[in-house]
Structure 1
Amino acid sequence: MEIILKQDVPNLGDKDDVVNVRNGYATNFLIPKGMAIMATPSAKKVHEENMRQRAHKEAKVREDAQELAAKLEGIQVQIATKVSSTGKVFGSVNNIQVAEALAAQGLEVDRRNITFPGQDVLREVGVHQAVVKIYRDISASVQVEVTGEE
């Protein structure tokens, strides 16, 4: 029996895959649990149209993400904070402050997508790298300069 999976099923397939399974497995387990639907000709048409629309939306989102990555790449953000005489920051500079600094430059980025390679927060004065993950495999590198307040 041919079915369309509505969710990932271990050892069978991923969501939206069209697979062949035994009749009993489909009618007694997959379909009643809501994991799959029968692959009738009309269901296949609807499935193909949904996949086409999803691919179109995916392409649009990917294009927007690449535009944002191009804008972010090479941007330098300056954050002033209180520092000791040895150059250590009182407290730390975190992704929230970097997101706010980017927003001040007109670039809205979710703070949870900002990471500092090799460290959680910035605790020293100087220029550091921050990686902004925009979309699945699209990310941009931003320079963060931590300076002392006057």
Structure 2
Amino acid sequence: MKIILTNEVSGLGIAGDVVDVKDGYARNYLLPRGFAIRWTRGGEKDVEQIRRGRKIREIATIEQANSIKGQLEGTKVRLKVRAGDGGRLFGSVTPADIASAVKASGGPDLDKRRIELGSPIKSLGLHEVSVRLHSEVVAKVGIEVQPA
């Protein structure tokens, strides 16, 4: 099935790309989550609009991405969440929570879609997350999860 990506999907492409994927992958994962739309001749007009939107949000140069990386890695990020006995959280920490905690601690404004969690954060303590700033630049950010 031919689809147009509306968001960046790891291992598949970036927003505005037209890709061919298996029918089940498109119907069961990409389309319901809003990561893609079906390709049609009329949809080709949408591709240009998606690419323009991506260029606005995208970090333009590697130098700019490296400066943001330095700023991120020098920032101490603390996140207060509700936790039960033994340090287990009620729920988990989401990329949106992390983006708002980085902003609150004086860091740059991040797009939550660029934050990659290796595994869900469900306990108190120090955790490391990756922020993909550019195709070649990835920043590692230490998040200290504390009880509220």
Same fold (TM over 0.5): yes
Matched, 1:123 2:141: no
Structure 1 range deviating more: 75-84 or 122-131: 75-84
- Structure-2-length-normalised TM-score: 0.56
Is the aligned partner of 1:110 residue 2:117? no
Alignment of 1:63 with 2:63, yes or no, is yes
Contact 1:73 1:142 in 2 (8 A): yes
Greater mean deviation of Cα atoms: 60-69 or 140-149: 60-69
Shift of 1:144: 0.6
TM-score by length of 1: 0.55
Residue 74 of structure 1 deviates from its aligned partner by: 4.0
RMSD between superposed Cα atoms in Å: 1.6
Where does structure 2 lack aligned partners over 5 or more consecutive residues?
A: 1-59
Distance 1:127 1:106, change over 3 A: closer
Partner Cα distance (2:61, 2:111) in 1: 16
Q: Give 2:79's aligned amino acid.
A: I
- For 1:98, the equivalent position in structure 2 comes to 98
Q: Which has the larger radius of gyration?
A: 1
Give the 3-state SS of the residue equivalent to 1:86 in structure 2: helix
**Structure 1 unpaired stretches of 5+:** 1-59
Identity %: 28
The alpha carbon displacement at 1:61 in A equals 1.5
**What is the SS of the residue equivalent to 2:61?**
helix
Partner AA of 1:142 in structure 2: V
